[in-house]
A = this chain, B = another copy of it.
Amino acid sequence: MVMLRAEEAAMSTFRQLPPDKQERVLDAALAEFADQGYHAASLNRLVAQAGIAKGSLYQYFPNKEGIFRHIFQFALSRVQRRLTTVKEGTLEEGFFVRLEKSLLAGVGFLREHPRIFSLYLKIQFDQNVPCREEFLAAVRRHAAEYFGSLVRRAKARGELRPGVPEAAVLFLLDALFDRFLQAVAVPSLDVTLGLYQAPEEVIRRRVRELLQLLKEGLAA
């Protein structure tokens, strides 16, 4: 999507604002989009919450979609930073330990930034969000790169059963991790594990159980 001159100017105005004001606007926008979803998000509420005038908003951003894009980019950069940290911090560990630490880091991130996760869910399942395809593709690419890197290293070190189809392993990991985080964040999405806002200790036990199942399989 091409950005017009006027939009660039507006964005640069925003970036030159006093940091605390920028933060107020960012926080209010994230809260509004994460809680309400794109369409239900109200710019009137947003400006009220941020303590700025409505006109000002349109001096910072070209329109509603522009605000939304900015919030998404902001959120994605936070996730990316955290993932990189975990990956580099566990380079020498075994595959299943790395998976365990990754999932626990995910839970930690989700608890520190519940609204970022909520925003992600909204984008994933509201078909009428603008730029949905583009945003989802970005998230999936990051996830695939992350798991792919772990799996390749595990293969190189001989930790995986020979002949397992890599694509299927990536899919299984993505599915399980995503759903685990969802179950921690969303009540009544969890069948049986009692993860919603569960204490740290329960989370750790469940993570280990699940990874054990992945490792050893279900069959007798």
Interface residues of A (CB under 8 A from B): 35-37, 39-40, 96, 118, 121-122, 124-128, 133, 136-137, 140, 143-144, 147, 158-162, 164-172, 174-176, 178-180, 183, 186-193, 206, 209-210, 213-220
Contacts and interface: CB of A to CB of B under 8 A. Distances in A.
A143 B162 CA distance: 33
Nearest to A193: B171
8 pairs of A and B residues whose beta carbons are closest in the complex? A217-B217, A175-B179, A125-B125, A167-B192, A168-B209, A144-B191, A215-B219, A136-B188
Given A126-B122, A127-B118, A220 B159 contact: yes
Contact of A192 (B170, B178, B191): B170
Instruction: Indicate the member of A160, A190, A213 with the most B CB atoms within 10 Å.
Output: A213
Nearest to A124: B125
A164 to B, nearest CB: 6
B168 A210 contact: yes
Given A37-B126, A127-B118, A169-B218, A192 B144 contact: yes
A120 to B, nearest CB: 10
24 contacts: A37-B37, A39-B40, A96-B219, A118-B127, A124-B125, A133-B187, A140-B190, A140-B191, A147-B191, A160-B218, A164-B213, A165-B209, A166-B192, A168-B206, A168-B210, A170-B192, A171-B210, A174-B191, A175-B176, A175-B178, A178-B179, A214-B217, A215-B217, A217-B217
A37 B128 contact: yes
Number of copies: 2
Given A125-B122, A126-B37, A133-B188, A193 B168 contact: yes
A159 B170 CA distance: 26
A104 to B, nearest CB: 16
